[in-house]
Amino acid sequence: MTQTELKVVDSTALDVEVIRQDFPILNQEVNGHPLVYLDNAASSQKPIQVIEAVDAYYRLDNANVHRGVHRLSQRATDAYEGARDKVRGFLGAKSDKEIIFTRGATEAINLVAQSFARPQLKAGDEVLISYLEHHANIVPWQMVCEQTGAKLKVIPMVESGELDLTGLDELLNERTKILAIGHVSNALGTVNPIKDIIAKAKAKSIPVLVDGAQAVPHLVVDVQDLDCDFYVFSGHKMFAPTGIGALYGKQALLEAMPPWQGGGDMILSVSFDNTIYNALPYKFEAGTPHIAGAVGLGAAIDYMNSLGIENLAAYEHHLLDAATRKLEAMDGVRIIGTAKDKASVLSFMIEDVHPHDVGTIFDQQGVAIRAGHHCAQPVMQFYGIAATARASFAFYNTEQEIDALVNAIKTTQELFA
């Protein structure tokens, strides 16, 4: 099932109060108020199942991977490779060879820009991205364009925060060497019609990278169904540790790509005359990887699967709808990003109050949101603003927390009245 077909299953299928017990960090006060954590798009919290998996790895199994004949190294290798297989299943990939562990989405995009795009790009070629991208899916492409003389082209957006796809056929042309596009916008929450966009590119044999950093915490992703060539995400936004994420790539493409970084583990043999690179996926994993992070990512996938990603999506939709209705009804509050299909992000402005002040006043009430440009400055430029306040929801948030958000807005308005 893809996100576009995602039915609202049953938004009450989750027992949120029970789920919250799995997230010890939520049970605390900030500035004398219960913590209301609404900054999940920046980084989500971790359930004890993930924390304990990482803890158990360090207590029982810690060693380097792929190298030792001793028991701990074998256990560490099994844990690491087991996590890779969980990521494969999570994304619906065919083979573990198609899953490269990276530091996160940013590193994965840089890998594709440098190893896949750079060797083939030349002056006159085009790289196509969209207006909605996070800087992580802009700057690596600008860098590779600078290195090769290729040109960066941009799919425009409209006021609702959706992409304007009317000119897509012309933007996807014989000069386009790759389309790199986000699945879900981090600044606005827009869910792009990614399957249709990919199909248009594939019809012209244009490779597609999807930045799924904001999608995997909220949607069922199936890379084979999407038919994208690359899909990237970060673990820390989906209840796993920081410093771990993954690149999915179609095996034939990854096989043909040169390594990106050199070092241990990515070689079969080294001499001063000739080095033979290792097979997939190790060819792209130079140096000792973040083994504990991968273990934690595997545990996060198990945790999400145990709750049912469709159930999480349905409940989060319910929260987003409720929050949207409440903010729409408030005077002096403007929602930025009103796409028909949105996931878990509510960007807004309070009239005459700078978003950074909003963030600070909210914090005094224990409400954690993000205030800023969200590393999506072109989106801010489109709206002619420098920043927004952004509340972003996870499945452990509650309707009471939406009321806390509303109260924080009222308090802010009173302070600035």
Which single residue brings its beta carbon nearest to ligand 7TS?
186
User: Minimum distance between the CB of residue 143 and ligand 7TS, rounded to whole angstroms?
Assistant: 15
Which CB atom, from 19 or from 108, has the smaller least distance to ligand 7TS? 108
Which CB atom, from 76 or from 213, has the smaller least distance to ligand 7TS? 213
- 342 to each of 50, 339, 350, 352, how far by Cα in Å? 27, 6, 21, 26
Contacts of 91 (CB under 8 A, 6+ apart): 99, 221, 222, 223, 231, 246, 248
User: Minimum distance between the CB of residue 373 and ligand 7TS, rounded to whole angstroms?
Assistant: 10
| Among 113, 108, 170, 173, residue whose Cα is nearest residue 140 | 113
Which CB atom, from 214 or from 365, has the smaller least distance to ligand 7TS? 214
- Give CA–CA dist 129/155, Å, rounded: 6
CA dihedral angle for residue 237, residue 241, residue 243, residue 249, rounded to 10 degrees: -60
Structure tokens of 179? 């389309």
Which CB atom, from 86 or from 218, has the smaller least distance to ligand 7TS? 218
Structure tokens of 227? 């038919």
User: Minimum distance between the CB of residue 290 and ligand 7TS, rounded to whole angstroms?
Assistant: 13
- Give CA–CA dist 45/27, Å, rounded: 12
In contact, 226 and 1? CB cutoff 8 Å: no
Structure tokens of 254? 């990854």
In contact, 307 and 19? CB cutoff 8 Å: yes
User: Minimum distance between the CB of residue 191 and ligand 7TS, rounded to whole angstroms?
Assistant: 12
Structure tokens of 256? 């043909």
User: Minimum distance between the CB of residue 350 and ligand 7TS, rounded to whole angstroms?
Assistant: 20
- 139 to each of 129, 136, 142, 236, 275, how far by Cα in Å? 11, 6, 5, 21, 31
Radius of gyration for the alpha carbons in the chain, expressed in angstroms and rounded: 22
In the complex, the residues that contact ligand 7TS under the rule CB under 6 A are: 41-42, 104-106, 134, 136-137, 182, 186, 211, 213-214, 234, 370, 374-375
- Give CA–CA dist 334/347, Å, rounded: 9
Q: In 191-290, which residue ranges form alpha helices assigned H by DSSP?
A: 194-203, 223-226, 251-256
Which CB atom, from 214 or from 412, has the smaller least distance to ligand 7TS? 214
Kind and range of the H or E element at 328?
helix 309-328
- Tell me which of 42, 286, 368, 375 is the catalytic residue: 375
Structure tokens of 111? 């890998």
User: Minimum distance between the CB of residue 391 and ligand 7TS, rounded to whole angstroms?
Assistant: 12
Which CB atom, from 104 or from 293, has the smaller least distance to ligand 7TS? 104
User: Minimum distance between the CB of residue 132 and ligand 7TS, rounded to whole angstroms?
Assistant: 9
Report the 10 Å Cβ neighbour count for 31: 11
In contact, 319 and 393? CB cutoff 8 Å: yes
Is position 145 annotated as part of the catalytic site?
A: no
Q: In 204-288, which residue ranges form alpha helices assigned H by DSSP?
A: 223-226, 251-256
Which residues make beta-bridge pairs with 155? 130
User: Minimum distance between the CB of residue 182 and ligand 7TS, rounded to whole angstroms?
Assistant: 5
Give me the phi and psi of 266, to 5 degrees please: -95, 10
Residues labelled as active-site residues: 375
